[in-house]
Chain A
Amino acid sequence: IAGITQAPTSQILAAGRRMTLRCTQDMRHNAMYWYRQDLGLGLRLIHYSNTAGTTGKGEVPDGYSVSRANTDDFPLTLASAVPSQTSVYFCASSEGQGNTDTQYFGPGTRLTVL
């Protein structure tokens, strides 16, 4: 069982380009999340999805969009990348949306926007 996979592992992107970060989980978890990690700021929630077909905004959603067409996949899209979106992006999932459900994180995607 792979758990959560993210692709690409790392990417350098020119400002203004469109980019989609991929996330797939094989645990049949209902809830999925995208966080960004910046030095000195910890992890901040970008978007989440409590179940397939629904999404919601987190703490820092501007400049990002997500979709949840099925249970397993939760792609994150940057429509027009800017340098401030340089960060490490983590996808996570949990069995349910309750506050006792453990979140499991993927290995991350390191994105650099020049």
Chain B
Amino acid sequence: GDSVVQTEGQVLPSEGDSLIVNCSYETTQYPSLFWYVQYPGEGPQLHLKAMKANDKGRNKGFEAMYRKETTSFHLEKDSVQESDSAVYFCALSDEWNNRLAFGKGNQVVVIP
């Protein structure tokens, strides 16, 4: 079945550092890919998405490129701020439905 892998646990960049949160996926389909962000005490909310290979999702300075050849969708930002501290989940839905498969999530804590 479909799966999403996020390997790192907690990520601790300093304010102003660049950030990469890794995401790889496995599926036999042509998925849509998503990053969801979750702040303390809230439900996840869509951060960005890419619908097909070579699409780039963008939001609030974050980017993620849908790379079919490496089955990856890494989240990147050039210069993080303290307000970017949150848990980030990578997810996919296959081409036939909207049921999401999530990775385990990475907690990003930006050190001021």
Interface residues of A (CB under 8 A from B): 4, 31, 33, 35, 40-45, 48, 50, 58-59, 90, 92, 94, 96-108
Contact = CB atoms under 8 A, between A and B. Distances in A.
B69 interface: no
B98 A105 contact: no
Contact of B42 (A42, A43, A99, A107): A107
Nearest to A6: B43
B43 A90 contact: yes
A58 B99 contact: yes
Interface residues on B, range: 20 to 34
* B93, B94, B100: residue with the most chain A Cβ atoms closer than 10 Å: B100
Q: Tell me the interface secondary structure of chain B in the complex.
A: loop
A103 B46 contact: yes
Interface of B: 6, 31-32, 41-46, 49, 51, 89, 93-105
B94 to A, nearest CB: 7
Given A42-B104, A99-B93, A100-B51, A94 B44 contact: no
A42 B99 contact: no
9 contacts: A31-B98, A35-B102, A48-B99, A94-B98, A96-B98, A97-B98, A99-B31, A107-B43, A108-B43
B99 A90 contact: no
Contacts of B104: 40-42
Nearest to A50: B97
B96 A99 contact: yes
Counting from the closest, the 5 A-B pairs by CB-CB distance are A105-B43, A42-B102, A99-B93, A42-B104, A99-B32
A70 B45 CA distance: 25
B89 A42 contact: yes
